[in-house]
Amino acid sequence: MVERRKYHERLLAPVLDPLGAVIRLAQTQGEPDHVVYEGPEGWSFAAGPVAELRADRDGLVLTSEAGERSVGWTGRPLRQIPALLDTVPVEDWRVYGWAGFDIAAAKEGMFDLVGDDPFLHLMVPATEVRLHSTGTLLRALDADDLDTLEARLEAGTQAEFRAVPVDVSETDAEPYKRSVGRAVEAIREGRLQKVILSRVVPVEHPVDLIGTYGVGRRANTPARSFLLSLGGVKATGFSPETVVEVTSDGLVTTQPLAGTRARTGDGAVDTALKAELLADSKEIFEHAISVKVAYDELVELCGEASVEVPEFMVVRERGTVQHLASSVRGQLVGGDGAWDAFAALFPAVTASGVPKPAAYRVIRELESSERGLYSGAVLTFDSGGGLDAALVLRTVFQQDGRTWLRAGAGIVEQSRPERELTETCEKMASVATYIVPLGA
């Protein structure tokens, strides 16, 4: 039997600039696999996997010092994730990683829509830094690594980054508008009520993801943010909403955003756009049906008595756009846990459609490439049962030598192709404005 290992810990004073601190940690990280995650309590940095959980169309596989364990796609495999992770010979773990869009079809048994690539990758890190307003917690399985982490935190100031905006207005514009028209036809035929269609904009030069994260995060107002390099998948983004949040005592919250107008930086113009957003019947309908789906999903999971909508159709400012936003929450019952909540709410209705299974098919028919991480989640999950999953939007992606941006818009029967194209540009600007070329 493999002996269970404990994290050595060291508590330091809060840092004045936690964003700058995680950027320094990412810049000086010797191993390629690491994750930066900005959650509700602050920033975290994790690196050096000692155990990894992956999923593809064949099932889930956990690899650790204790060996390999696997689970197939029968029954409720996501529910078995905590039990799999509990076999890792590490105490008091927190995993970091990502979940791709293909989990949506896999958990529904729609394997004809699932690609060949992995669509879930979580890691238990060897080292971890949690930067909160009350203090900085260093954690390491090897005690000597605490000194290394502290030294890296105290290193000199980070380099200055220079962003060069990327034009997103023309690439794939006409094909995208045609796809919007075809989606409206599908809605009028009764196949579905709403679908989110996205478009891809390649970035033709090498990009410094760490620099882009630094410049972009200082300019954005996200619900969550992240920077990751894990298993060959690299991304940095400024998430406008969470897919699901689950506390250790089973309170589940989801925050659907749907309905969009630009933010220009001109107060008078933005106020007028906000009023227009709140009065637009198409945007209100798109938002309302998204909230209804999230509510129904939580009722099925938590029971009607505990589900509530504490916020409905407020306006949230997220970088270069403003959205209609609501919050839906409920209390888990009957032995369900965080991954039951994740399975019920993933993918976010605001990144898929209504009803979801029909939307998966229309997305596959009308989009030019598989989504991969786009509209999936970057997440943390801990041994106490808490889970926090950020929706992967407003993101720059890197994989296999390619770099690209991607954004979508919610299509309903009243949608107009030109307006939906404009909306994708408004959303992509939250990232495209802050792209840092490699070496700049």
**Annotated active-site residue in 241, 286, 297, 367:** 241
Rounded-to-integer distance, Cα 14 and Cα 136, Å: 5
Query: CB atoms < 10 A from the CB of 421, how many?
Result: 19
Mapping DSSP to helix (H, G, I), strand (E, B) and coil, where does residue 359 land? Answer: helix
- Tell whether the model's pLDDT for residue 343 goes beyond 80: yes
Angle of helix 209-219 versus helix 417-432 axis, rounded to 10? 110
**What pLDDT, on a 0 to 100 scale, did the predictor assign at position 1?**
61
Percentages helix, strand, coil for the chain (3-state, rounded to 5) are 30, 35, 35
Mapping DSSP to helix (H, G, I), strand (E, B) and coil, where does residue 374 land? Answer: coil
pTM for the full predicted model: 0.95
Rg of the chain over all Cα atoms, to the nearest angstrom: 21
**What pLDDT, on a 0 to 100 scale, did the predictor assign at position 339?**
97
pLDDT-derived band at 30, boundaries 50, 70, 90: confident
Mean pLDDT of 341-365: 96
Mean pLDDT of 303-310: 95
What is the tens place of the pLDDT at every residue in 99-115?
999 999 999 999 999 99
**What pLDDT, on a 0 to 100 scale, did the predictor assign at position 34?**
96
What is the tens place of the pLDDT at every residue in 376-422?
999 999 999 999 999 999 999 999 999 999 999 999 999 999 999 99
Share of the chain above pLDDT 70, in %: 98
Share of the chain above pLDDT 90, in %: 91
What is the tens place of the pLDDT at every residue in 149-160?
999 998 766 678
- Tell whether the model's pLDDT for residue 319 goes beyond 90: no
What is the tens place of the pLDDT at every residue in 419-440?
999 999 999 999 999 999 998 6
Whether 413 is catalytic is no
**What pLDDT, on a 0 to 100 scale, did the predictor assign at position 155?**
79
**106: enclosing H helix or E strand:** helix 103-107
**What pLDDT, on a 0 to 100 scale, did the predictor assign at position 158?**
65
Mean pLDDT rounded to a whole number for the chain: 95
**What pLDDT, on a 0 to 100 scale, did the predictor assign at position 154?**
86
Rounded-to-integer distance, Cα 155 and Cα 22, Å: 12
**What pLDDT, on a 0 to 100 scale, did the predictor assign at position 156?**
66
